């Protein structure tokens, strides 16, 4: 399963789901689905999210199975 840090970073920058959605040109609901891990975004959307949240895709998304490998 794909895990992410979207909610955490969005809160850090004080964005609502709607704000973030507008910046990457998707609906608020799609941001909610991504945060819940219910939907894996495309590479394009992942890159857009990473850009708005001032990080890189690897920091924003990772596979659950890789959790144990993190230091």
**CA trace torsion 67, 68, 69, 71 (10° rounding):** 90
Q: How many residues bind another protein (CB under 8 A)?
A: 19
Q: How far is the CB of 20 from another protein (least distance, A)?
A: 11
Residues numbered 4 to 63 that lie near another protein (CB under 8 A) are: 16-18, 25-34, 36, 38-39, 41-42, 45
Name the minimum Å distance from CB 30 to another protein: 3
Instruction: Please enumerate in sequence order all residues whose Cβ is within 8 A of that of 20, keeping only pairs 6 or more positions apart, or say none.
Output: 6, 10, 31, 49, 52, 53
Q: Which residues bind another protein (CB under 8 A)?
A: 16-18, 25-34, 36, 38-39, 41-42, 45
């Amino acid at each position: 399963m794909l895990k992410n840090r979207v909610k955490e970073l969005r809160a850090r920058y004080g964005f609502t789901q709607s704000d973030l959605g507008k910046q990457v040109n998707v609906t608020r609901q799609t941001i909610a689905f991504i945060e819940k891990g219910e939907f894996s975004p495309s590479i394009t959307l992942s890159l857009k999210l990473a850009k708005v949240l001032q990080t890189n895709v690897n920091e924003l998304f990772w596979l659950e199975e890789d959790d144990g490998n993190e230091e």
